[in-house]
Structures are given as C-alpha cells and as structure tokens.
Amino acid sequence: MGINLGNFLSSQSKNKRMKEFQDLDHIDGVSISTICANLYKDPRDDVVMFYFRDGANYASVYTQSKIISENIKWNLSNKVKKVFSLLINTRNANCFTGKQGFKSLEKIAELISEQLTKKQKEDEEKPKKIKSKEIIFGCTGTIGETFPEEKIKIKIPDLISKIKYTQNKYIWMKAALGMMTTDTQPKMAMEECLIGNSRIKIFGVAKGSGMIQPNMATTLGYIFTDADITNIILKKLLKKNISTTFNAISCDSDTSTNDMVSIFSTGKAKHSKINNINDVKIREFDNALNKVLLNLAKRVVTDGEGASKFITIKVQNCKNENDAKKIAFSIANSPLIKTAIAGEDPNWGRVIMAIGKANVPINIENLSIKFGEIIIIQNGKLSINYNEEVASEYMKNNNIDITVNISKGSKSFTAYTMDFTKKYIEINADYRS
C-alpha cells in the first residue's frame, strides 16, 4: 500500500473538530531518520528511527493481550534506565514468529548499537558506547509472517547516515507516514507548557486505524519531550493519562498484540529534575501531556478503517467510573449501533440494547439519552418532544454525540469510536493482498 502525501496536505479533515496538523519543529536531544527497506510491494518509507544522542529517560505501557509480539518481549526484557534509539518497522508485526523473530531483533539491535557507537565517535566530544539493550523496537503489520531481518539490516547503515539532528514539520511528517499501515493520514500532535520558567515541548506521533480497542496502550504511540523527568515519574504520568485518552477509544473492539505507547524525556530543558509526582511544577506538564495523548487518540479514531463518522459517547452520573466505562464501550463496540450511524439512522433502540447488555444495574425511570442536543429518552420514557425527522437530520453530521445519563451517582466516562461502513469490510478483506 502506497502512501498518498496528499492526505497530509489536504485542508479538509474527516473530523471537522480535529485541528489541522501542528507545526512540530525541533526538540533538543531527538533525531529522526526514515528509509525504504522494501517491506511493501510499492516503494515507501517503512522503517523509522528516533535517535537520542545523549540517551533519554523513558516509560512505556504495552498491550494486555495474552499473545504479544516479539518486539514487546524484547522491550520488556531490557531493564535499562536510558535508551538511545527507537526503531519502528511497518508491514510486519513480528508476532507469532517465535525464536526467529526475537533473534532477528537481537541481531538488528547489535548492528544499530555498533553503528550508533561509530556515529558517537564521529560526532561527539565525549562519545558513548551504546549497548544493544539500549535499543527498543516498535513493530506493526501482519501477524505470523517471517520477520524480514535481512531487508532491515541492510538498510541500517543508510538509515543512520540519514539522521537529521535538526527537525522540522516535514521530518516529523515523514516519521508519522513511515509508521502507517492501513492508515490514510499521519497522526501528529504537540503542546508547549512551562516547568518553572522553562518552556517545555511535548511532541507526539502515532499510527492506528484498525485492530483498536486499547487496554493500557494503543497500536503505536510515541511521545517526546525535552523536559527533565525521571523514569518513575514518566511511568506514573503516562499510566495516569492513558485511561482517559488511548484507553477511551475503540474502532473495532480488537486489542492488538503489538500495542505500545512510550514517552521519552531528553532532559535538555533547563529546569530542576522532576522526581516527585506531587511537584507543583509538573501540573502544567501533566495537563499538556493529556492534551497530546487525547489529540493522537482522537486522530486514530478519526482515521479508523472506512470511518465516515466520529462518535463521542458520554456516560454520566454513574455509581462508579467502571460502570460508566462498561456502558460507554458497550455502546461504542456495538456493530448494530455503528452500522445504524453509518446509515444515518437514529435507531435509539440499539442504544437501549447496548446499555442493557453492559451488565450494570439500571433504574430505567432515571435513564435519559440524547443524540447531540436532541432529547430522546427522558426519565425512562420517550420524550414527548422527540421528532424522528429532526434526529435523522442530525445523523447526517460527521460528528455524532451520544449522551447517556444514568442518574445513579457522580462518576462519568467518555469513549470515542467510529461507524462501520462497507469500506471497513473492503479494507479488512483485502488486508493481506
């Protein structure tokens, strides 16, 4: 599958609420390179490297699937404090590849460490010897195919020689494009904030379009910052903000074997190191990180396979957040609801069905449902003001909001999803061809 650069340059977005691509520029300590390793039939960049010349503190969350890819196994096995490179390949998930897949990563990591150590000697006043365990991997694509070790290895020297020490929007775009599989658009986001008197950058890239209902992660999502934050605090911040962002989305209710979200901190910003989660100086950073993660997560849903509608499901006033989440995802993952929305049919009976099957105690007399601002169910009954024609007109919008009020407590949860169209079937029927 080739990548259409016009998707990036288009002024029109599937989801009119989404911002246009932001002007990601340079982050101190981060370098980027992309290359074509001929993993696809049609030539395109399919391998991406992020290089941290002085190393980066990092934290990751991974898929909770009981079958995980070999790159996830590799990453989990490496207990290093800093990493020097993240290598991402598309087209091949390196899952269900067994010893061959894992050993391939070992060999590639050894080659990368050798080549980057050589580059350190060429470029740095105080060169570092980079170890293979200081390399981590992201893999995405088809499950069960032999990992293309030789195709990737032969390109590593060229990939490293192309490393750009200064980034701009175009280079970040190339990285985001190089991660894509069935995606139609690259996914990029940025925020700036203050830690003390220092202005901090937070940049993010992600890929994801199908096999998406994350459980502690997404398909692939990577966050980069010049803040100086310890690994422990990065982990706490990431886990805290994942729950309402990447763990609040579903395209098709399927959790990938390869899901991972990572954050990398280069420590180049001039402020005192953050090593306490309660440090008041980190509040603005915490908020900005959430915005980046949510922006990327929404972009994944907006670009869901065959999607024509972006759907926000708000479940309010539950006894606890878990109940709200159960109901929200019961609605989000219903093929009947997704197809009704694709057909622009305000079939609110299917929402009733989804609420009921969530296995959460419901007092029907207190139940209310809205599509947008249209009140459909009020106090457990069809609203006397409900007008099917008005509701049908609302369903023609690109953005559909469903609000469910349980009136049983004070906890809420918001989920984000997409509709199911004929295009979804076509994409997944032809995925391996």
C-alpha torsion sign, points 428, 431, 432, 433: positive
Q: Alpha helix locations (H) across 69-125?
A: 70-77, 98-123
Contact 346, 394 (CB under 8 A): yes
Q: How far apart are CA 31 and CA 266, in angstroms?
A: 11
Q: Pick from 62, 55, 79, 71: which is nearest to 103 by CA?
A: 71
Question: Three-class SS of residue 280?
Answer: helix
Q: How far apart are CA 103 and CA 142, in angstroms?
A: 19
Contact 47, 152 (CB under 8 A): yes
Work out the angle at residue 295's Cα, subtended by the Cα atoms of residues 376 and 429, and round it to the nearest 5 degrees: 75
Q: How far apart are CA 72 and CA 96, in angstroms?
A: 12
Other CB atoms within 10 Å distance of the CB of residue 426: 12
Burial of 388 (0-12, 13-18, 19+ CB in 10 A): exposed
Out of 218, 245, 257, 421, which one is annotated catalytic? Answer: 218
Cβ neighbours of residue 317 closer than 8 Å, sequence gap 6 or more: 405, 406, 407, 408, 409, 410, 411, 412
**Identity of residue 332:** A
228: its two tokens: 């100086």
**Identity of residue 408:** K
Q: How far apart are CA 24 and CA 167, in angstroms?
A: 8
Work out the angle at residue 64's Cα, subtended by the Cα atoms of residues 294 and 100, and round it to the nearest 5 degrees: 115
* Annotated catalytic residue 245: no
Give the count of alpha carbons within 13 A of 200, CB side only: 30
Indicate which residues carry an active-site annotation.
Answer: 218
